Each structure stands twice: as structure tokens, then as C-alpha cells.
Amino acid sequence: MIASFGAYLETVLQRVLHHASEDPIFQCEIEDLSKLANHAEAEELLELANQKLHVFPFKEVKACWFRLYTDASIVKAIRLIQSNIELGHHCLPSAKWIDEVVTALDMALIMAGGLGRDDVIHELMSRLQDHVAALKGPRAKRRKTNDGPGPLELQSQLPDEGVSVPRLARPLRALREPSVESFQRWMNEAREPVVLEGILHHWPALEDWKKSSYWLEQTFAGRRLVPIETGRSYVDEGWGQKIVQFRVFLEDYILAPDETRSEVGYLAQHDLFRQIPSLYAAISTPDYCYFDAPPPEQGTPLFSKKPTTACSISHPTFLPGIEQEDDTEIHTNIWFGPAWTISPLHHDPYHNILCQVVGKKYIRLYSPHVSAHLQAMSKADPAPHVNEPNPDRDLEGEATIDMSNTSTIDVAAMEISPDEDWDEVYPGISKVPYLDCVLSAGQALYIPIGWWHYVRSCSTGISVSYWW
């Protein structure tokens, strides 16, 4: 077993050290890329690439630095595995070196998209997980210490308590399992949001995603890393982002009692399915997303804007990303958090089908034709406050994120204090028409391009959004 795994690692290493002549990595102008073969020098190249990835704005980061970051991370991971297997450190479930390997590989996926090597990373992660499971099995039966159930194993189900489910003022219409033709007519003629009933009934996720054990299995016993937002909403003071182990996210932000949480944590707008492809087995992209959707309507904010690139986002982020000109793919993101996580009133440059898998969400929507009354932020408004600015980030030039898709109107405050005279704060807001719904597990919501929407979790919830 060990010998065959060792041979596999050497094969992967040689593959990563080979670069085709057209590989963007050569644009880094590294004098000798063979240095990657050495663990210490690979660490130095990884640090160099990391510095380059934190240039702001991210669109100025060259693809070569994503490639260098990816390859150096893979080499680091392989060298860690090789050295620890040689020392016999391969069968303890709590072995720190396993965490270090997973961290190196996941950081390549999160920070650099695993550019050019994502298939290598996915296979290496899977082979490592199988190898560790096989080798720790016999010893795990003999050793009882430190192998008992932890908080996640003891609490097998995600919390399902409801919090403040509001009465609807202007309920959305619903369509039950509309045909593709019916949905296309709705998109092109009604051009309004609509709740979609019965389109997720075949998803295994509706049951599987309620279980902590499922998430532990899918995330290598919770070792996988995820980027989370901290704070109630990205427009709040103190909002920030950090990367944590999935186990930490579950224990500290989902399963922990409200009174013990020091802050709110939200796994928001992250393509976890690209990072962990096995999660795709529990869901499926709605057929409606594969058909052409109408452009923004005339007289709306997005109509006059040029087509967006694939990096356009709803929530702001300080994580690097690769700008792509071709934006024909369907963007899939997960939204996983406790009650009272909020996406403030904003609009997106995509059509969206939001699928509720666990829990409930309250959603309020405003037509793009009333945008003039919704007090959008300006492009010059500063990016959200970050708790601990990264001293390595180069903030020269553009030091802000375009927030013009976000309203200054605090809908959450209006929800909490409905008897206040909000027209004094936001003149005329009580006269602006809107639609709303409570989206329950198994339901989906179609949000047309440009429609303003405010989203609040009414309980621990998991959603999947499809943008196209």
C-alpha cells in the first residue's frame, strides 16, 4: 500500500515539474523552475507567488503567478506526504501533517483556482484520503484514546430551529414544475421573480445536507478549508473574511449555541462544488439555466453597463480571482450559515435560480425600474471594513470595490422595527412596491437579472445559487 502510494506521488511530482513551452508560468521569469523540485526552494517560490496574488485590484494579477502558486503548493504537499510516510507518521487520525497537506492543496484551489492543475489536486486529495483511511483503520480499533466522538459526531443533525419567520406583505407567485417552455415564456414575458415548486425533489442533498456526518465525510473529517465572511452583513462595520477548516466553521459558527459565538460566520458565495467535486452528486443544475435568458430591461441600471466578466460577484471579496472574458458558464455557489445571516439589498448582473436545501430564508425583491428610489451606493464608496487588513496587500491605485450594486437602505432594520417612520430615514421608501417570500427547503426562487433583493436566513440554512 505504502509503496504504491509512494510511486503515485513520484509520478504526480514529475508531472507537476514538467511545463509545456506555452505554460503561462514562464511569464514569471523565474531563472530556474527546476528549483520547484526542492522543498525549501518551493516554499520560497510559493511565498513570492503569494505576494503577487495580493496585488489590488486583482484583475492586474498575471496568470503566471496563479500557476506558480498552484505548482509550488502541490510540490509542498507531496514533499510533506513523502517525508512523513518515510518517518511512519501515517496512521494517527490527529496527525498535524495531514492538516498541513490539506491546507497546501486547498489554498491552491481557493487562492489560485488550482490553475492548470485542478484535476491533479482533486485526485491527490482523494488518494490521500483513501490512503489515510486505510492505514489508520486497524490501529484505530486498537487505540481508544483520542478517538471518541467529538462535538460534530455527537450532534448528528444541523440545528433546525426557526427564528423570526415574517408574515408576507406582497407574496410572490409560484409555479409548480413548469416546463422549460413555460419557464422561458415567464422569463421573456412576465420578467418577474417567481417561486419554483417541485423542481428539487430528486436532490439527495435535501436529506444528506442536514447531517453533520455527511459534511465530515465530504470534507476529509472536516480538514478542508473554506473562506467565510465574519459579521452579520458585508455593509456592516467589522465585516471581514478569513479561511478556516470546515470543522471549525461547523463547530464555532453553526453548532455552537448563540450565546457562545463571538461573531457570525457565513460560508457565502463560494463555489464549494468546484473545490470539492464529490458534492455535485447531491444536486443537479436546473434545466432552465441552459437556455438563453433575456438581457437587462431598458431603463434599468444594468442596461447601460457593458457585459460583465466571470469574476463579477454579489458579495465583495478580498480573495484573488482570475478574470475571464468568456462568461457563458453557469456559476454555482453555496450559501451556508446560521440564522440572521444577511445579504443586504443589492442586484446582480446575472439571472439567478436560488435553491433552498436546508432551513428557510426570507427574501424581499424590488424591480430594477424603481432603482432611483433605492439609494444605491456609488462606485466611490469604500469597500467594507476588514477587521485585520493584510499588510502584504498592495493597495496602491484602486483601493475600493465597486459597491454600486448595493443599496444603503437597511432592510433588516426595517424588519426589526416595522413601526418606525422609515420615510424619515429613507424618503418615500414606504411607497416603493416590492414582492416577498419565505423560501423553504425544497423550493427554488427565480430572480431575473437586475432585480434588487434582500436575503435573510430565518434558521440555519444552506442554499445553492445558479447564475447565468
Q: What is the model's pLDDT at position 78?
A: 98
Residue 190 forms part of a structural domain: yes
If asked whether residues 342 and 404 sit together in one domain, one would say: yes
**Given 94, 122, 142, which residue is the final one in a domain?**
142
Q: What is the model's pLDDT at position 150?
A: 55
Helices and strands (DSSP H and E) totals, the chain: 13, 13
Q: What is the model's pLDDT at position 145?
A: 39
Taking the complete model, does pTM exceed 0.85, yes or no?
yes
Residue 305 forms part of a structural domain: yes
**Given 142, 162, 194, which residue is the final one in a domain?**
142
Q: What is the model's pLDDT at position 225?
A: 99
If asked whether residues 138 and 21 sit together in one domain, one would say: yes
If asked whether residues 352 and 393 sit together in one domain, one would say: yes
If asked whether residues 279 and 183 sit together in one domain, one would say: yes
Cα–Cα–Cα angle for 408, 411, 413, rounded to 5 degrees = 105
Residue 38 forms part of a structural domain: yes
Q: What is the model's pLDDT at position 152?
A: 54
Give the 3-state secondary structure of residue 210.
coil
Is 133:1 a contact under the CB 8 Å cutoff?
no
Total number of domains constituting the chain: 2
- Using CA atoms, how far apart are residues 332 and 256, in angstroms rounded to an integer? 28
Written as nine digits, the cell of 394 is 498592495
If asked whether residues 127 and 252 sit together in one domain, one would say: no
Is 377:356 a contact under the CB 8 Å cutoff?
no
Residue 168 forms part of a structural domain: no
DSSP 72-107: HHHHHHHHHHHHHHHTT--S-TT-HHHHHHHHHHHH
If asked whether residues 221 and 99 sit together in one domain, one would say: no
If asked whether residues 191 and 73 sit together in one domain, one would say: no
CATH at residue 263: 2.60.120.650
Residue 126 forms part of a structural domain: yes
- Using CA atoms, how far apart are residues 356 and 440, in angstroms rounded to an integer? 6
Ranges under pLDDT 70 in the chain:
1, 56, 88-94, 136-155, 162, 306-327, 380-400
- Using CA atoms, how far apart are residues 185 and 351, in angstroms rounded to an integer? 15
Domain that holds residue 28: 2-142
Residue 153 forms part of a structural domain: no
- Using CA atoms, how far apart are residues 158 and 155, in angstroms rounded to an integer? 7
Q: What is the model's pLDDT at position 135?
A: 73
Bridge partners of 91, per DSSP, are none
For the stretch 140-178, pLDDT in tens is 444 443 444 455 555 689 998 767 789 999 999 999 999
**Given 122, 142, 162, which residue is the final one in a domain?**
142
- Using CA atoms, how far apart are residues 276 and 289, in angstroms rounded to an integer? 22
